[in-house]
Structures are given as structure tokens and as C-alpha cells.
A and B are shown apart, each in its own frame.
Chain A
Amino acid sequence: MTKDKDRFLNIILVSPSIVAVLIFVYGFIAWSVRVSLSKWKGLNPDYTWNSINNYIGLFNDPRFAVDVKNTLIFTGVFVLGSLLLGFFLAVMLDQGLRGEGFFRSLFLFPMAISYIVTGVVWRWLMNPAMGSRMSGFNLLFTNLGLDSLVNAWHTTPQWGMAAIALAAIWQMSGYTMALYLAGLRAIPQELKEAARIDGASEAQIYRHIMIPLLAPVTLSALIILGHMSLKVFDLIVAIAGKQLQLDVPAIYMWQATFDGLFYGRGAAIGIILLLSVAILIIPYIRYTLRTEAQQ
């Protein structure tokens, strides 16, 4: 009797969540796709068929081209910077030094803060004003006699996104450190010992043993950071507002939809973002679940 009851009970327990995810994720994605194929412009929904014209429009849109370029710069600097910094921090912390826990907590605390707070503070630190209005890092550099480091930060033409990525590295490198540290701890100590006995130097041990063994961690970090940089939004809004020079797809989507009321175009940007994230994430989910099943 209880068996039969339980068989249905488990479905009843999870169905509210499954239905909610089904509607709010998959139903809404389908709805967005429909909006992206419509002529909807203005406050009132208009589902007149527009084929793929919103997508074609974006591919010919100079602003979207800037967005793609900016996303690439941001992704490159942010992902590479976070990976390298996170890796070196993890290796240093893995040496069994005293105070390891303190440093680990310190490198990780920016993760607890919102991109908005980070952005408001970094906007102040990266203030590009020169001369008597100089402040932030530029002022610090001048005070320290490092005048050559004074720069225009996020207002630098072409490369402003790299400055935004710097703030993002500050926020997220602790996360990569945590991933690598967990990975390093999972490597059996005997492997290192054996290599040492064979006469390998510390550098060789990392080069030929640790880094190859950490490849799955690097892959996870690459995918997680990569998909985050495609979605970057709050940080730029907080540092720079809605400047065209630092535009990314997420900001364009927001502005096109809620300021410009170009719903069709906004939905198309959302779907393009979704597809680019899906290319990274779907194989990753499949790979992770498969490895899990094998264990």
C-alpha cells in the first residue's frame, strides 16, 4: 500500500519544481524565440511574423559588431587573467605555508560582493581624470613615482574593456584559485614524492605532472569563466553606465528592449546569447554527468 502511494508521492513532490522550470526556462525561451521572429516594437505586444529579419539586422548592425569585439576582448583578458592568477595563487597556497587559510579567505572574499559594489568602487579607482582632478590608481601611481602607469583605464579607445576585465579578475580569480586548490589537493602526494626521488625539479613536477593532471579543472574553469564573460552586464553598468564604447550584448539587449522598446531585436540578442552559452555548457553538462556515472 505504502509502496504505491510512494510511487506517486515522489512525482507529486518534484512536479511543482519541474513544471516551474519547464515554464520559466523552456517555455520562456520558446516565447523569446517567438518574439525574436516578430515585428514587436513599442509597448504593445505585436507578434506579426518577421521571419529572421531581426537576426539579419543584428549581423549588419555596427553596434552589435562592437559588442562582439568587446566581448572577445573581455573574455580573452578575463579568462586568461583569472586562470593564470588563480593557478599561481593555488600553487603558492599548496606549499604548506603557515597562514594558508588566512590568505585563501582573503583571495576569495570578493566573490561574496556584488558586481555593483565592485563596479562602484572600481569606477572610483579607475577614474580617468587627469591633472588636478586626478584620483584613484592614477593618483596612487603618481604618488609612488610610477607616472608611466597612469592611463585612461576603461576610457582607453579600443582597449577599455580590458580595464573592466581587470575588475572582473579581482572579483573572480579567487574562484579559479579555489577550483585549482581543490584539484591540487586531489592529486596523490605519492606522485610528487616519486617524481622527486627520480630527480625531477619542482618546476618539472608542475610542468609534466600537475598541470596535465589538472586539465579537467582547467576545462571546468574555462567553461564557467567563459560563459560568465558572455553574460557580463552588472559590472559594466556600474563602472561605465551605458556608454557605447563599452557596450556588450547583454547591455544592448536591455537597452533595445526596455529603453528603445525594440522587443523583437532585444529578444534576438537574448537568443544569440543563449546559443553561444549553450555551445559551451551543453557538452560540459553531458561530460560531467557521464564522468559522474562512470564513478
Chain B
Amino acid sequence: MKSLRLSKNWLYLPLIGMAIFYLIPMYVMIITGFKAFDEISLKTMWDLPRGIAFDNYIEAFSKLSPSLWNSFAMVIPAALLSSALGSLNGFVLAKWKFRGADVIFPFILFGMFIPYQSILIPLVQFMNAAGITGLPGLAMAHIIYGIPITTLTFRNYYASLPQELLEAAKIDGASMLGIYRYILLPISIPSFVVVLIWQFTSAWNDFLFAVVLTSNRDWPITVALNNMAGSQIIAWNVQMAGSLLAALPTLLVYIFLGRYFLRGLLAGSLKG
């Protein structure tokens, strides 16, 4: 047994090689961000910084901070609301089916996969006509187009719970809302974490909705970063610092709540 284990140690070689591949972009992003302005040269771009300087971060933050706040202001309500809706839908579709519930479900699911280019023109027209522009409009788009995946995740979770749990409560005279409020809601906190993380990440990282639904003042971080990177006057060391600022919130969520992130990921492929 021991020799078998030992013989597998060569696997660390390809694993470490792959780890380097995944870390290279992060390495460049981080070391470049910490270099002082006078230290930037193409020749030394792969070298470690001589010391830790915050010049780039200060400049990137001064340029991007309004859009970072825009992102937070839009993403947090969007994640909370679409999760709450998903939980209610999932509860009804898994445990309190009405006639036609099984017919409706695949139609809701399909909404998760559509290319948004196929609804973009009506979306912009509708939002403008309804006067829901800027961040509220963007948040609303994320809430509505988030419904399919949040519903799916909660439905799969609630469907896995034994029916006896509900039957017992029903016999005790609990109403439907009572069952939801006092039995299912408390035990679905882990699912809420999964769904909230998923919605937070996908709304934070979205670019397409943001670029068509917001203008300059309301830009979330993805649009602001892309425009900063596209302009010739912003040095690339500042761009790298800005990239890290833009990636940090979702990266921190991943680092601290990775387990839940993975479950959301697998739910996205319909496997609950």
C-alpha cells in the first residue's frame, strides 16, 4: 500500500505545472500592481517588485471607486431579491405543486440559458419606456433573469427533503406559509448562501446588461474597468491594479465560501 502511494507522487509534477499556469495571470496582476511608478519597464515586467508601493492602487481606486460603489449598490439588492423569489418559487414547485407546475418549470429553466442578445432590444426599449433606467434598471434585469437559476437551486433542494416533514406539520394544522416560514426557511440557510453567492458573483461580473442599461454615472465596475483598459492614456500598471480591485470582492467570497460557490456552479449545469 505504501509503495502504491509513493508511486503516485510523480503526479505532483503536472499538478504544480498546472498550478503555475492558473497562477500566472494573478502573479502578473499582483506584482505589477505593487510596483512603484519609477519601476515600470517592459523588460522587468516578470520580476518581483523592489518594494511594496501603493501608487497604482491609489490611482486605480480614485478612478474606479464610484463604479465599485455602483456595483455594490446594484448587486446586493439584486442578489437578495432574486434569492428570495427563487426560494418561494422553489418551495411551491417542489412541495406545493399546482396543476401545470411541471409544465411551467422547463419554460422557466430555459430562461437561464438564452443568449441575452435575443432580448436586449426589447429590454432597453421597455426600461426606457417604463423610466427604470440606470442602477435600478440594471438591478431589475439581474433579479428577473436570475429567477430561473435561483428557482432551480431551491427547487432541487426542497425536493430532496422528505415529504413526511411537511405532512406532519400539515396534520398539526400548519398553513402553507407557516410550513415555509417555520420549517423550510430555517433549514434552507445553506441553500441561501449558495444562491446569494452565485447571484452576487454573476451580477458583479456581468458586462452585457451593464453596458446597454447604464451610462457613465451609473457604470458598474466591469464597464468602468473595460473603458479604463481601452484608453491609451492609462498606464498598464494602473490597469492591473484596477483589475485586482474589480476581482477582489468575488475572489474574497470564493476564498472564504468556496464550498458554497462550487455547489452553485454545479447547480448551473442542472445537476442539483
Contacts and interface: CB of A to CB of B under 8 A. Distances in A.
Nearest to A13: B88
B207 A108 contact: no
* Most chain B C-beta atoms within 10 Å of own C-beta, residue among A119, A221, A227: A119
* Most chain B C-beta atoms within 10 Å of own C-beta, residue among A97, A120, A122, A278: A120
A274 B261 contact: no
B59 to A, nearest CB: 15
Interface string A120-152: 111111000000111110011001000000000
A35 B12 CA distance: 56
Contacts of A207: none
Contacts of B262: 108, 178
B186 interface: no
Contacts of A2: 173, 175-176
A64 interface: no
Given A117-B225, A124-B28, A277-B115, A24 B22 contact: no
Interface string A95-134: 1110000010111111111111111111111000000111
Q: Is the interface of A mostly helix, strand, loop or mixed?
A: helix
Given A10-B92, A106-B23, A97 B266 contact: no
Interface stretch (B50-58, B187-195, B246-254): B246-254
A173 to B, nearest CB: 9
Contacts of B173: 2
B70 to A, nearest CB: 15
A170 B175 contact: no
A17 B133 CA distance: 21
Contacts of B207: 114-116, 233-234, 237-238
A144 B109 CA distance: 49
A97 B8 contact: yes
Tier of interface size on chain B = 35 or more
A170 B119 contact: no
B209 to A, nearest CB: 11
A35 B119 CA distance: 11
A115 B205 contact: yes
B106 A133 contact: no
B222 to A, nearest CB: 4
A135 B265 CA distance: 35
Contacts of A182: 266, 271
B147 A139 contact: no
A126 to B, nearest CB: 10
Interface residues of A, number: 102
Contacts of B208: 233-234, 254
B183 interface: no
Contacts of A245: none
A286 B258 CA distance: 30
Contact of B121 (A97, A108, A118, A270): A270
A270 B22 contact: no
B147 to A, nearest CB: 5
A288 interface: yes
A112 B261 contact: yes
Given A6-B176, A116-B246, A281 B110 contact: yes
Per CB-CB distance, the 4 closest pairs between chain A and chain B, nearest first, are A114-B205, A112-B254, A274-B118, A28-B119
Interface of A: 2, 5-7, 9-11, 13-14, 16-18, 20-21, 24-29, 31-32, 35, 45, 85, 88-89, 92-93, 95-97, 103, 105-125, 132-136, 139-140, 143, 170, 174-175, 178-179, 182, 220-221, 224, 227, 230-231, 233-234, 237-238, 241, 249-250, 253-254, 257-258, 263, 266-267, 269-271, 273-274, 277-278, 281-282, 284-286, 288-289
